[in-house]
Amino acid sequence: MHVTLRQLDVFDAVARHLSYTRAAEELHLSQPAVSMQIKQLEESTGIPLFEQLGKRIYLTVAGSELHRYARIIRQQLGEAEAVLEDLKGLRRGRLSVGVASTANNFAARLLARFVEDMEGVSFSLDVTNRETLLRQLENNERDLVIMGRPPKDADLDESAFMANPLVMIAPKGHPLAARQSIPLKELDGETFVVRECGSGTRIAVENLFDKCGVSLSTRLEMSTNEAIKQAVEAGLGLGVASMHTLGLELGSERLSVLNVEGFPIRRHWYVVHRKGKRLSPLAAAFKAFVLKEAGVFCGLLEASGRNGEPDRSWCGDCQQRCEI
């Protein structure tokens, strides 16, 4: 059966009015054009859809059945049209964001703020380490990723939005906690609790130690910032963590930040996607939201003091000089 939507529309009009003339008026067609469409529809269905008794026409049983289906098809097309219209805006859709473990603290809060009043929209937040995020980007598995600076040679679009200072931590009362400007060399051979391979924090620490010719033992490896903080607090060794993960511990004085040369390691957060990716309206809106609001919302950018505006000077020069 080869039936066109146009034929179904004409058929629906004739079936509702039970009149070729009134259907033609409604559709702004001539009456012969309407009759022709119905004739062709009857030919392709292979069964009469109307019968004429006296001056009136009636739907046959087959015509009634087809009319039922024609209305369902029309209604479903209308629904499809509405869904596509919503997808063009921000009322509907799904946003899939990958987030570096260290960014989890603020990413969930950011997302919660963004989704306020977006009932038709669903979100997934996958928290994992840098290596996995890079693989997800390569496989185009996420709309957006929030992570430390991606490798230069990857085909990625990256926008920096917030500083991510990495500091060296020790348990409260540690002898080094009272010292200033501790040379990194002095920590050669010190026990460190480090993040797992594939973590951006780990790579940054290894790069700095390497650059300064200091050896870093990776004997004590842990896969979350929480575990690192607990281990450092318990006296297993020193650690390095993003300031973003330390709020409570510093507030309750369970950990101290050491004043070590080369620290804080100045990293930054980036919102990243594949170059040339066609972002959905939802993903584009979230990216714009992160770039505009993240620093202010999370209260993590250094304030310049001028009109309370966040200081973004690190985005250019400092990033070139300090990012490891």
CA 26 to each of CA 12, 29, 41: distance values in angstroms, whole numbers, following the listed order: 11, 8, 19
Cβ at position 160, least distance to ligand PGA in Å:
12
Cβ at position 273, least distance to ligand PGA in Å:
16
State which of positions 147-176 bind ligand PGA (CB under 6 A): 147-148
Which residue's CB is nearer to ligand PGA, number 147 or number 184?
A: 147
The only residue of 200, 237, 239, 295 in contact with ligand PGA, by rule CB under 6 A: 200
Residue number of the CB closest to ligand PGA reads 200
Which residue's CB is nearer to ligand PGA, number 24 or number 163?
A: 163
Peptide bond into 264 cis (omega under 30): yes
Which residue's CB is nearer to ligand PGA, number 92 or number 149?
A: 149
Which residue's CB is nearer to ligand PGA, number 148 or number 237?
A: 148
Cβ at position 233, least distance to ligand PGA in Å:
19
Q: State the sign of the Cα–Cα–Cα–Cα dihedral 47, 50, 54, 55.
A: negative
Cβ at position 196, least distance to ligand PGA in Å:
9
Describe the chain by its helix, strand, coil percentages, rounded to 5: 45, 25, 30
CB atoms < 10 A from the CB of 35, how many?
16
State which of positions 239-278 bind ligand PGA (CB under 6 A): 267
The only residue of 195, 244, 273, 287 in contact with ligand PGA, by rule CB under 6 A: 195
Which residue's CB is nearer to ligand PGA, number 225 or number 256?
A: 225
Q: Is residue 100 a contact point for ligand PGA (CB under 6 A)?
A: yes
Which residue's CB is nearer to ligand PGA, number 20 or number 161?
A: 161
Q: Is residue 102 a contact point for ligand PGA (CB under 6 A)?
A: yes
β strands within the chain, DSSP E: 50-53, 56-59, 93-100, 121-128, 144-147, 156-171, 192-195, 220-222, 238-242, 255-257, 265-274
DSSP 92-126: SEEEEEEEEGGGHHHHHHHHHHHHTT-TTEEEEEE
> Checking DSSP bridges between strand 144-147 and strand 93-100, what pairing results, if any?
parallel
14: enclosing H helix or E strand: helix 5-17
Q: Of the ranges 98-106, 248-256, 291-299, 301-309, which one interacts with ligand PGA (CB under 6 A)?
A: 98-106
Give SS3 for 194: strand
Say how far apart CA 229 and CA 41 lie, in whole Å: 74
Tokens of 275: 């170059």
Q: Of the ranges 47-55, 96-104, 210-218, 300-308, which one interacts with ligand PGA (CB under 6 A)?
A: 96-104
Cβ at position 127, least distance to ligand PGA in Å:
9
- Interface residues with ligand PGA (CB under 6 A) are 100-102, 129-130, 147-148, 195, 199-201, 267
